[in-house]
Structure 1
Amino acid sequence: MPALSDATIKLYKKVATRTVQGEGGLLTGEDPSAYNSSDPLRLWIIQVGVIIMMAQLLSLGLRRIKQPRVIAEVLGGILLGPTAFGAIPGFTQHIFPPDSLPYLTLVADIGLCLFLFLVGLEIDASIVKRNARLSVVVSLAGIALPFGLGSALSLPLYHHFIGPSVQFTYFMLFTGVAYSITAFPVLCRILTELELLDTTVGIVVLSAGVGNDIVGWTLLALSVALVNAGSGLTALWTLLICVAFAIFLLWPVKRVMLWLARKTGSVENGPTMFYMTVVILLLWGSAFFTDIVGVNAIFGAFLVGIAVPREGGLAITLTEKLEDMVSIVFLPLYFTLSGLNTNLRLLNDGITWAFTIAIVALSFTGKFGGCTIAAKLSGFGWREASTVGGLMSCKGLVELIVLNVGLEAGILTQTVFSMFVLEAVALTFLTTPLVTTLYPPERRVRVSGQLVQRAAAGEEDGMDSDDSKAPGKDGPWRYRFTVILDKLEHMPGVMALTQLILPTPSAPSGITSVTSTAETVDLKKPEVTVDALRLIELSDRTSAVMRSSAADTLIYTDPLLGIFRMYGELNDLAVSTSLSVVPFDDFPHRVADHALRHASQLVLVPWLPPASGHHNSIEVEPTPTTPKSPRFEHNPFEAFFGSFSKADKSASAMNSQFVRSVFAQSKTDVAVFIDTGDRSGAGGSQHIFFPFFGGPDDRLALEFVVQLCLNPRITATVVRYIKRDVDVTPLGKPEGVHAHEREQIPTIRSLVHRDDTLSIRSTAFPDTVYGQPTTQTRMQSETADSVTWSKYASPKADPDTPSLLRAALARIQFSELPSPTPLRAAIQRAASIRRAHTRLLIIAGRSKRLATGSHHHELKEILEEHGTNGDMVRKTIGDVASAMVVSSSASTLVVLQAAIPAE
């Protein structure tokens, strides 16, 4: 039964014998949906459009309950078949007339070969090798018990529904294979959706799924060979030929393909056009060979997928080039053909439904029971073992392929085929809710060791050491950092921020009388260490799942991590690297969890605004003269359904959401580096300006400024702004205040304190959530502000201040400034400093809690003056930093948020 060859020959005969028909159009009154053998493309396009739209509409609803897309495609095919839409008079005759099905079948078979090629690419033997002991036991148990139950059930099924023309052994073999198969591609999608790929359960299931798939396809090939051969001797010869051909592909051909990939540069730079041509020719040649020898063409395509080399992510790149067209167009066509052959109306009596229920129950019992017991005997607890069994019971599209092969071979009748299709849909649908119930997130055990490469030998991941202690009393030194790497565009900002925290290699000239040699050595102890966390988005694409499975090898080949490792070597910086492939919505949680496990003291997050004509705004926002889009402005549905989907937002909006989520979820201090792109002040010494307003974030920012000033090449200006109302023109200029600030300074007799309590506003995007401040907590915060300010602004008053800290404070100019408009005063001061220092870095606290007052009204006026909305920026980085951004006060800013103390 060479299915692909038969379909091609039938189609050729039909085309060769057809009569020439007119090719009129709408203007001639011709029905565009009418089947025309001389122009079959018209109806084919209509069919493809109907199929894709049906699958996409169903997936919109099923995606909400975390069901894989295959469920929508199978249900769409069933609905378009005789079960539902096919019962509408004229639907099948106009949309799926019998004469048009050969064209649809040929395209679907081509797509199925491509899909099996992708399945072969997805199978990585190294996964099985790493977890061989557990995966082999679970895989064999998940095949043996279901095969036995399926063979036992096949006896009553055969007597009730199968005619005597079909041999019982053939039917029993197909039933056993359908029971024992596990849908490896669908299993990968479910593991991705449930975020189980990096758990102990997920790794074992992935390994067992690979082994189960290989054995299952081998059994199916044997079944097809027996059916097509007609005699045992012919079947044996067919099987031996297939084994020899598989060995030929997996050894000599695979070595030649690897040599060719290296010769053409495909390993380093992705597959070239020539290499892709060779792979495609080998794919169809192998499919043709397995088809003509009596085994289905899909086995040849599957073997070529396994034979493609994995070096340098070559298999992943090949998958990226093919997966979208296969998953969007070809697979839905195949499932629709399955749906056209599925008629649930045939299940119309009690005995038929009794057998259907028995098929579902025994299939689930065999897979779930066999894999659960095997996992339990291998050392898992009952909860994890049952989760393994629930995942391995997933059927999906692989069983549908087996059923279609059996239907084409005449082994299965329409009734039995419909029973098994219903069983495959039911078990696939059951997998997600079952696993969610059995294995909730708080019970999961994650295997982080495979995704982390530690720089220091012998250091265990997640173990606290002496270096994990909080900053000591001798100074605000933070020396364990986590740097987030997301995009290549972020690398300049990451390097610039990391450069600031590097320790000085030797005692600075000019202050040798203050800092001794021993104290200079103490400056480098404890040693500054940086862990670079590379985040890769895990989407529902096959290539993304393959990246997640190969994370332990990608950590050595990822270009961003490679650049940062080299940066660490050039700067004598201890760098460790980590790589995590997770869904985009899980990025903030992974950052927070990673920082805790690695005992980081500060998380460094880059934020690069997009290029736009309005360079002083983080994102392009509507001006007062431009109509505002209601998309981000007080949408009532946003409060109910959460944030918008990723496709509905610009890159800057998504980046803003990510930064805000990190602020909200992090239990570690966070510093966000903002690069506005203004490089007009490049060159010269680095100067820092920090406006201090109070609160935990500003206190953290002040300590960070002091630590940066340990570097003798960095100086700083720190101004404490006190918001007060005035009604008298200032009379003089206090010491340390510039002339342009005189109009901001009131006389002592005119100062009236103004207490603006910071209101907690609900926002649609994730944000930091703090308890409502009370009078007591606010007074405690103000007291802490005064203590921290006195510690650093007047170090001479404390005789216990270390000389190293004194040296850093000597490079900082401290001053205080009461003002009714502190933001404007800070902007003016930043402008004057920038005229004197070409490189100005502004540091600000996010000040989302326990600050002395709110700048909301003043910031609103500043935003209106600069013609921008800035609401997204304000919610992300706070009022002070937003005012600095829109006023173009500096080319770079660092915004800090202190960790939320544990309750």
Structure 2
Amino acid sequence: MPALSEATIKLFRTVSTRATVQGEGGLLTGEDPSAYNSSDPLRLWIIQVGVIIMMAQLLSLGLGRIRQPKVIAEVLGGILLGPTAFGAIPGFTQHIFPEDSLPYLSLVANIGLCLFLFLVGLEIDASIVKRNARLSVVVSLAGIALPFGLGSALSLPLYHRFIDPSVHFTYFMLFTGVAYSITAFPVLCRILTELKLLDTTVGIVVLSAGVGNDIVGWTLLALSVALVNAGSGLTALWTLLICVAFAIFLLWPVKRVMLWLARKTGSVENGPTMFYMTVVILLLWGSAFFTDIVGVNAIFGAFLVGIVVPREGGLAITLTEKLEDMVSIVFLPLYFTLSGLNTNLRLLNNGITWAFTIAIVALSFTGKFGGCTLAAKFSGFGWREASAVGSLMSCKGLVELIVLNVGLEAGILSQTVFSMFVLEALTLTFLTTPLVSVLYPPERRVRASGELVQRTTAGGEDGAESVDSKSPAEDGPWRYRFTVVLDKLEHIPGVMALTQLIIPVPSSPSGITSVVSTSETVDLKKPEVTVDALRLIELSDRTSAVMKSSAADTLIFTDPLLGIFRMFGELNDLAISTSLSVVPFDDFSHRVVDHASRHASQLVLLPWLPPTSNYQNPMEAEATPTTPKSPRFEHNPFEVFFGSLSRADKSASVMNSQFVRGVFAQSKSDVAVFIDTGDRSGAGGSQHVFFPFFGGPDDRLSLEFVVQLCLNPRMTATVVRYIKRDVDAAPLERPEGVYGHEKEQNPTLRALVHRDDTLSIRSTAFPDTVYGQPNTQTRMQSETADSVTWNKYASFNPDSDIPSLLRAALSRIHFSELPTPTPLRAAIQRAAIIKQAHSRLLIVAGRSKRLAVESHHQELKATFEEYGASGEVVRKTIGDVASAMVVSSSASALVVLQAAIPAE
């Protein structure tokens, strides 16, 4: 009788035959809470679940360091809790896993197994096979035929040596062949994720072949179970025909009804409603019940329902997200523990038994590895790629364990043979990751498509890349090609604001530029301004994350962030190409850099939104040169941006800092980080830009960026070149509103309060950007370039023969120079003065981690101390100048730029 029905009936009989309810005392009555009580089995069940989960988690911590999938820890934990290890301790099994309690554990484990097979069905996407049909079919068939033949051949000596003669040899041979030919598709997805192979040609083919292999394997297993339970060939034939008819009924009429119901209830657009979830769950258990009572295991019904759930609008992914955590954390470890309790490696106690075990492992690996490797080689792969395909397809994992448990429950396998095959599944799964790492190292991998790209344009051809705009145009420092990174919905306002600012000549609502002529606009837009929006989705070890990677071709059209940004491009007549990439978080920075390189982007725009807090944003507090903040400031301003750095955790803000620094360290393009404080108090009015120029390649880039911003007629700017110099009298600051180049005379600066440098800045484990060591020649070249760039823009003659667009932009910028012994403090005070006159102040700063003219380290430490702040991570991420502006709450928003590192 099938396991689920048998466990349910046994439990019913146990409970119904109890005439007397046993006592329900607790610790206060002196009763042992861990003692088994058939009328109240929950207590012992909770203890069992706690022991099982803790064992699996502890083992996964250690095995995770050698990049082994979690299933290894779960299977190994089950074996250790069984008679092989802990079960040998006197009283352990009788006290923790008494025989009378196993039906309860088995019932919950089988419920979880049905839910897991439902998730496996959701994970299988037929479109993957269709896209790679030729290769996947060849590899899949080779990975089934040869192992099935070898398993059938080995079953003969195994049967005569270890199996009871009452078992039909045909049934045993069929189970052995299925166990050999199966591939653990769910575990395979996790291994591909861990090894970062999902976007390689090998990964795509293995996923496709794994889907086909799983479908054929489950069909063969259903046939095997039908034969065993039927008792006669004719009954087995009727059982199989009923199952085929039921599968056709689910895959066509029911699937269409489920799609109609999903659309009718709005589940496609807004995720599954409560009613739709109820229908799915009822269909799941109804299908499991039907396949169970007709003589096929209940897991096949659950698997079929997972296949018929619509994929439209990411509905299958959303359903998976609602169920996967409970299944993977609680239910699956229970099932593996039951397998472990049935696995006794102590039965492998003689030479002939170990010889058969080694033969089982060797033939199983040879069949899978050899068949799939040769099929991949003949399909056009190189030997390294083909061997990687063979190694991955040899992964067994939990799917073979399910097959083995079905065979054990049906009485086909003995305890000894079951233990042999469990050890074989564990060994081959363990070998998969290191074998692929050796045969197919990262430097040898061929990526099919790092990301999915959709080109959309406004008034142009299909995203044509006819112009190589690696260098600015001759008529000005304009940059035309941008990469914008999107990974959170909260970034959208800042991204759109900055993108609107960097468009060289924004159009008025009527479509006519307000300052320059139409001819000048046309000239400026050659080459066309384009923006590549890169959507990043984290690829975790969850099933739903792997499904998102497989469904990237549909997500790019349904992702809300990309949809919003596409509409923004259409409204602004801006060519937009949207890209979507599902990668592990550690690969975010590499993917951004790779995307910018392949799209020839001149500037990478990284939005950075402070984490939500319950207190007032320090940026909103008023800062004036005459009323500085007290050092006992209640909140650390850096916590608004980066979270607390006093605890060694991986908060979202600290991880985001690591990502930004990774882009800075690897990028071959210019990078701009936009920090949006959320200050919308001056929305709708003009915006003023303040840029303190200190020198160096980053500041030169920042100066050109400010000039480009001022192409917008609504933008004005103040650019001050600070020169560190001891002076007797300081010049006077002038009110804003006068533009042109002239020396500032006699500003009144509040004296810097000198103090001992007692502030300790905490170090961090994150690597900093590494640059080549500058020498005297490079520093002189940089200083010369600073002077040339400064004079080019600050000393321009309005009557000179320069492009009208550049002339108009420079006329909106106020240039000045200021010698001061405390340049950083002077820049903070100047920003405070400007903020009094302009409600919306954007501060632009160079990161200045390379070839900086002056070191602000000591002055920054004093500023940190005055405002009661600290944070080495912040300083290393955005530089000294920007850090000072953050801690002093000087701006409504900041843009920090780093110039591209020249290739050596």
Please give the TM-score of this superposition, normalised by the length of structure 2.
Answer: 0.93
Equivalent residue for 2:39? Answer: 38
SS at structure 2 position matched to 1:725 = coil
Q: Deviations over 1:833-860 (max 9, x none)?
A: 2222222211110001101111111112
Compared with structure 1, are the counterparts of its residues 39 and 569 closer, same or farther at alpha carbon in structure 2 (3 Å cutoff)? same
SS at structure 2 position matched to 1:469 = coil
SS at structure 2 position matched to 1:604 = strand
Find the aligned partners of 1:740 and 1:65 in 2 and give their Cα distance: 65
Equivalent residue for 2:366? Answer: 365
Paired amino acid for 1:235: A
SS at structure 1 position matched to 2:747 = helix
Find the aligned partners of 1:503 and 1:775 in 2 and give their Cα distance: 37
Equivalent residue for 2:11? Answer: 11
Paired amino acid for 1:211: G
Q: Deviations over 1:707-741 (max 9, x none)?
A: 11122221211111111133x23477898566883
Find the aligned partners of 1:62 and 1:449 in 2 and give their Cα distance: 29
Paired amino acid for 1:877: I
Structure 2 residue 320 is the aligned partner of structure 1 residue 319: yes
Compared with structure 1, are the counterparts of its residues 773 and 342 closer, same or farther at alpha carbon in structure 2 (3 Å cutoff)? same
SS at structure 1 position matched to 2:333 = helix
Equivalent residue for 1:145? Answer: 146
CA RMSD in angstroms, aligned pairs only: 2.7
Equivalent residue for 1:156? Answer: 157
Find the aligned partners of 1:512 and 1:379 in 2 and give their Cα distance: 56
Equivalent residue for 1:830? Answer: 831
* 1:632 Cα offset (Å): 7.5
* 1:513 Cα offset (Å): 14
Find the aligned partners of 1:482 and 1:691 in 2 and give their Cα distance: 26
SS at structure 2 position matched to 1:719 = strand
Equivalent residue for 1:741? Answer: 747
**Are the counterparts in 1 of residues 171 and 412 from structure 2 also a CA contact under 8 Å?**
yes
Alignment of 1:632-651 (within 5 A): 648-651=649-652
Find the aligned partners of 1:56 and 1:508 in 2 and give their Cα distance: 59
Find the aligned partners of 1:382 and 1:633 in 2 and give their Cα distance: 48
Paired amino acid for 2:231: G
Equivalent residue for 2:135? Answer: 134
* 1:682 Cα offset (Å): 3.0
SS at structure 2 position matched to 1:185 = helix
Find the aligned partners of 1:508 and 1:767 in 2 and give their Cα distance: 45
Compared with structure 1, are the counterparts of its residues 504 and 472 closer, same or farther at alpha carbon in structure 2 (3 Å cutoff)? closer
Equivalent residue for 1:756? Answer: none
* 1:777 Cα offset (Å): 1.6
Equivalent residue for 1:295? Answer: 296
Compared with structure 1, are the counterparts of its residues 570 and 515 closer, same or farther at alpha carbon in structure 2 (3 Å cutoff)? closer
Find the aligned partners of 1:179 and 1:347 in 2 and give their Cα distance: 20
Find the aligned partners of 2:565 and 2:465 in 1 and give their Cα distance: 24
**Are the counterparts in 1 of residues 123 and 543 from structure 2 also a CA contact under 8 Å?**
yes
Structure 2 residue 650 is the aligned partner of structure 1 residue 680: no
Paired amino acid for 2:148: F
Alignment of 1:833-848 (within 5 A): 833-848=834-849
Find the aligned partners of 2:250 and 2:731 in 1 and give their Cα distance: 91
Q: Deviations over 1:108-151 (max 9, x none)?
A: 00000000000000001111111111111110000000000000
Deviates more, 1:158-167 or 1:241-250: 158-167
Equivalent residue for 1:899? Answer: 900
Equivalent residue for 1:594? Answer: 595
Equivalent residue for 1:616? Answer: 618
Compared with structure 1, are the counterparts of its residues 257 and 743 closer, same or farther at alpha carbon in structure 2 (3 Å cutoff)? closer
Paired amino acid for 1:490: H
Structure 2 residue 236 is the aligned partner of structure 1 residue 210: no
Alignment of 1:43-82 (within 5 A): 43-82=44-83
Q: Deviations over 1:796-832 (max 9, x none)?
A: 3995643332222122111111111111111121122
Find the aligned partners of 1:508 and 1:162 in 2 and give their Cα distance: 83
Compared with structure 1, are the counterparts of its residues 3 and 740 closer, same or farther at alpha carbon in structure 2 (3 Å cutoff)? farther
Q: Deviations over 1:411-445 (max 9, x none)?
A: 10111000000000111011111111111112211
Deviates more, 1:485-494 or 1:809-818: 809-818
Alignment of 1:79-478 (within 5 A): 79-448=80-449, 451-455=452-456, 465-478=466-479
Paired amino acid for 1:52: I
**Equivalences, count:** 873
Find the aligned partners of 1:745 and 1:301 in 2 and give their Cα distance: 75
* 1:474 Cα offset (Å): 2.7
* 1:298 Cα offset (Å): 0.3
Paired amino acid for 1:107: V
Equivalent residue for 1:525? Answer: 526
SS at structure 1 position matched to 2:895 = strand
**Are the counterparts in 1 of residues 660 and 877 from structure 2 also a CA contact under 8 Å?**
yes
Find the aligned partners of 2:762 and 2:296 in 1 and give their Cα distance: 66
Please give the TM-score of this superposition, normalised by the length of structure 1.
Answer: 0.93
Structure 2 residue 726 is the aligned partner of structure 1 residue 720: no
Compared with structure 1, are the counterparts of its residues 263 and 513 closer, same or farther at alpha carbon in structure 2 (3 Å cutoff)? closer
Compared with structure 1, are the counterparts of its residues 260 and 779 closer, same or farther at alpha carbon in structure 2 (3 Å cutoff)? same
* 1:363 Cα offset (Å): 0.5
Structure 2 residue 794 is the aligned partner of structure 1 residue 778: no
Paired amino acid for 1:399: E
**Are the counterparts in 2 of residues 714 and 811 from structure 1 also a CA contact under 8 Å?**
yes
Compared with structure 1, are the counterparts of its residues 623 and 601 closer, same or farther at alpha carbon in structure 2 (3 Å cutoff)? farther
SS at structure 1 position matched to 2:783 = helix
Paired amino acid for 2:651: S
Deviates more, 1:100-109 or 1:653-662: 653-662
Compared with structure 1, are the counterparts of its residues 525 and 761 closer, same or farther at alpha carbon in structure 2 (3 Å cutoff)? farther
Compared with structure 1, are the counterparts of its residues 100 and 762 closer, same or farther at alpha carbon in structure 2 (3 Å cutoff)? closer
* 1:504 Cα offset (Å): 2.1
**Are the counterparts in 1 of residues 324 and 543 from structure 2 also a CA contact under 8 Å?**
yes
Equivalent residue for 1:859? Answer: 860
Paired amino acid for 1:817: L
Compared with structure 1, are the counterparts of its residues 381 and 61 closer, same or farther at alpha carbon in structure 2 (3 Å cutoff)? same
Compared with structure 1, are the counterparts of its residues 46 and 733 closer, same or farther at alpha carbon in structure 2 (3 Å cutoff)? closer
Compared with structure 1, are the counterparts of its residues 733 and 120 closer, same or farther at alpha carbon in structure 2 (3 Å cutoff)? closer
* 1:772 Cα offset (Å): 2.1
Structure 2: give runs of 5+ residues left out of the alignment.
Answer: 621-630, 735-740, 753-760
Alignment of 1:724-803 (within 5 A): 724-726=725-727, 728-730=728-730, 736=742, 741-743=747-749, 763-796=764-797, 801-803=802-804
* 1:650 Cα offset (Å): 2.5
* 1:890 Cα offset (Å): 1.3
**Are the counterparts in 1 of residues 506 and 513 from structure 2 also a CA contact under 8 Å?**
no
SS at structure 1 position matched to 2:897 = strand
Compared with structure 1, are the counterparts of its residues 678 and 625 closer, same or farther at alpha carbon in structure 2 (3 Å cutoff)? closer
**Are the counterparts in 1 of residues 504 and 708 from structure 2 also a CA contact under 8 Å?**
no
Equivalent residue for 1:603? Answer: 604
Compared with structure 1, are the counterparts of its residues 761 and 439 closer, same or farther at alpha carbon in structure 2 (3 Å cutoff)? farther
Find the aligned partners of 1:649 and 1:559 in 2 and give their Cα distance: 27
Deviates more, 1:14-23 or 1:158-167: 14-23
**Are the counterparts in 2 of residues 507 and 520 from structure 1 also a CA contact under 8 Å?**
no
Find the aligned partners of 1:512 and 1:205 in 2 and give their Cα distance: 54
Structure 2 residue 658 is the aligned partner of structure 1 residue 657: yes
SS at structure 1 position matched to 2:682 = coil
Find the aligned partners of 2:366 and 2:514 in 1 and give their Cα distance: 80
Find the aligned partners of 1:745 and 1:625 in 2 and give their Cα distance: 24
* 1:657 Cα offset (Å): 1.8
Find the aligned partners of 1:795 and 1:550 in 2 and give their Cα distance: 54
* 1:690 Cα offset (Å): 0.7
SS at structure 2 position matched to 1:673 = strand
**Are the counterparts in 2 of residues 617 and 870 from structure 1 also a CA contact under 8 Å?**
no
Identical positions, percent: 86
Paired amino acid for 2:866: E
* 1:596 Cα offset (Å): 0.6
Find the aligned partners of 2:665 and 2:762 in 1 and give their Cα distance: 14
**Are the counterparts in 2 of residues 154 and 171 from structure 1 also a CA contact under 8 Å?**
yes
